[in-house]
Amino acid sequence: MDLRLGQVILRNPRAPASEPQKTFTFDAVYDANSKQRDLYDESVRPLIDSVLAGFNGTIFAYGQTGTGKTYTMQGAWMDPEKRGVIPNAFDHIFTHISRSQSDKQYLVRASYLEIYREEIRDLLDPNHGTARALELRESPETGVYVRDLTSCVCKSIKEIEEVMNVGNQARAVGATDMNEHSN
């Protein structure tokens, strides 16, 4: 990895020395020594700032199992240096709201879903294990949305963390089911 050039360089160890390396260039590259805070400040903070200004924003973690998606997104909750994108974004959003002028109003709503075997499951629905899969819909006003997805209004970091914990527990049950099916 070349963090300065934003490049990931791949070499096949079994290939003959004459085979060229493959170089992929990105806007930014972070390796195992990168700091959560640097990733947030450089690559996430500008996106959340635009969301706070009224634009849409998406952060998408994609990769093979065990490559660090959960670590990057959630991190080690109790250690401020290891907190990932989600807790840093909660902090950023609610700090911004608390400091904003009184003529502005913000409404924060949180939903939490997972796509498991091509089906959408609502992790905030207490019956999600037995409920029917949710449907993806599109409307001219709001664009793509998930019909009947639970949405919780959150007024503080504590409230949104509670919503996330409920969803995380539903996820963990899903993972156990999956393990049982594969055994």
Ligand X SMILES: Nc1ncnc2c1ncn2[C@@H]1O[C@H](COP(=O)(O)OP(=O)(O)OP(=O)(O)O)[C@@H](O)[C@H]1O
Which of residues 102 and 179 has its CB atom nearest to ligand X in the complex?
179
Residue 64 known to bind ligand: yes
Distance, CA of 114 to CA of 173 (rounded, Å) = 12
HEC letters along 89-150: HHHHHHHHHHHCCCCCCCCCEECCEEEECCEEEECCCCCCCCCCCECEEEECCCEEEECCCC
Question: Shortest gap between Cβ of 66 and ligand X (angstroms)?
Answer: 5
Which of residues 32 and 53 has its CB atom nearest to ligand X in the complex?
32
Residue 151: what are its φ and ψ, rounded to 5°? -140, 125
CA atoms within 13 A on the CB side of 139: 6
Question: Shortest gap between Cβ of 140 and ligand X (angstroms)?
Answer: 35
Which of residues 136 and 175 has its CB atom nearest to ligand X in the complex?
175
Which of residues 6 and 68 has its CB atom nearest to ligand X in the complex?
68
Nearest alpha-carbon partner for 174 in 138, 123, 124: 123
Residue 57 known to bind ligand: no
Residue 70 known to bind ligand: yes
Q: What tokens were used for 107?
A: 């409404």
Question: Shortest gap between Cβ of 67 and ligand X (angstroms)?
Answer: 4
Question: Shortest gap between Cβ of 72 and ligand X (angstroms)?
Answer: 7
- Residues near ligand X (CB under 6 A) are 32, 63, 65-71
Residues of the binding site: 63-70
Q: Which residues are annotated as a binding site for ATP?
A: 63-70
